[in-house]
Amino acid sequence: MPLLNTRFTSCALAIALLMIAPLPASAVASRTRVRLVIISSQHLGAHGIGYSTRSLAQLSRKLSPADIPTLISLLGEEDLRVGVQFALASQCEPAILPVRDAAIQHKMDFLAASDTMDLIATFSACNPQTRNSAIQMHAELDKLRDAEYARTEQESKRKAENEARIQRNGLKLLDPEQAKTLTREERLEVFRSSLAAMGLTENGPMTPDQKKLADRMYRSMVLDEVKTPPNQ
């Protein structure tokens, strides 16, 4: 029985792998090689197994700038993220702009990108000009991070204000006199917000009952035809 289970598991795994769109063989080989290089660069330190200056030196010998795209693609692997930062830093100047671009494209956290610049700035194998460039890039990344946080905060505030406005308009629909002050677009916003609260969208899939309810809500909220609540 254990042998049968093993064979079944192996067969299922093989089928699952075949169903996944395969990467080119060269890309798979490159990712595998780079992954093994990163993992093997860990060393025992005061806090256990991890990455250190010794890792940077080892990675700089075993990797090249040609591996940078592969390193960027490995950033999504949680258990390799710190190792990828060290691997990128080991490439010195050629890694600076790719790290910046990865942060802007949200492939890499801004703080992680800044940490990578710090590693380059303190890595003795990088020339003084490169280390200085890394310091300057750290400052640029800080500005980019602050600008992004500000945009995110502003967008969150705008969204909250918009939702509050729609909620107020929804309350106005309950009062015939106040409902008259709403435009068709404002009524549509309330209708679509109500659908979204139910996990539905105006043109999305619905069951017959959901479609019937949505139609009644539309006639009530937007066209002002139905005077009784939509659940009656």
Distance (Å, whole) CA 42 – CA 49: 6
Q: In this structure, are 185 and 137 located in the same domain?
A: no
User: Which band of pLDDT confidence, cut at 50, 70 and 90, is reported for residue 9?
Assistant: very low
Q: In this structure, are 121 and 164 located in the same domain?
A: no
Q: In this structure, are 127 and 210 located in the same domain?
A: no
* SS3 annotation, 124-170: CCCCHHHHHHHHHHHHHHHHHHHHHHHHHHHHHHHHHHHHHHHHHHH
Q: Does the predicted TM-score (pTM) go above 0.95?
A: no
- What residues form DSSP beta bridges with 44? 49
Q: Using one digit for the tens of pLDDT, what is the confidence trace for 163-210?
A: 999 999 999 988 889 988 999 999 999 999 999 999 999 889 999 999
69 domain-assigned: yes
10 domain-assigned: no
Q: In this structure, are 137 and 33 located in the same domain?
A: yes
User: Which band of pLDDT confidence, cut at 50, 70 and 90, is reported for residue 87?
Assistant: very high
Q: In this structure, are 168 and 141 located in the same domain?
A: no
Cβ contact 140:110 at 8 Å = no
Token output for 22:
């395969």
Distance (Å, whole) CA 217 – CA 209: 12
Q: In this structure, are 50 and 124 located in the same domain?
A: yes
Which of 150, 176, 209 represents a domain boundary (last residue)?
Answer: 150
126 domain-assigned: yes
What is the reported pLDDT for 25? 64
115 domain-assigned: yes
Which of 150, 166, 189 represents a domain boundary (last residue)?
Answer: 150
Q: In this structure, are 215 and 120 located in the same domain?
A: no
Q: Considering its fold, how many domains does the chain have in total?
A: 2
**What is the domain extent for residue 125?**
28-150
Burial class (CB in 10 A: 0-12, 13-18, 19+), 195: buried
Q: In this structure, are 130 and 207 located in the same domain?
A: no
Q: In this structure, are 173 and 113 located in the same domain?
A: no
176 domain-assigned: yes
Q: In this structure, are 41 and 106 located in the same domain?
A: yes
Torsions phi, psi of 48, nearest 5?
105, -160
99 domain-assigned: yes
C-alpha distances (whole Å) from 22 to each of 1, 26, 133 are 32, 11, 38
What is the reported pLDDT for 46? 72
Which of 95, 121, 150 represents a domain boundary (last residue)?
Answer: 150
User: Which band of pLDDT confidence, cut at 50, 70 and 90, is reported for residue 98?
Assistant: very high
Map tokens 């490995």 to a residue: 74
Q: Using one digit for the tens of pLDDT, what is the confidence trace for 20-49?
A: 445 456 677 789 999 999 999 998 877 788
Q: In this structure, are 92 and 198 located in the same domain?
A: no
Q: 219 in helix, strand or coil?
A: helix
231 domain-assigned: no
Q: In this structure, are 53 and 133 located in the same domain?
A: yes
Contacts of 108 (CB under 8 A, 6+ apart): 72, 75, 99, 102
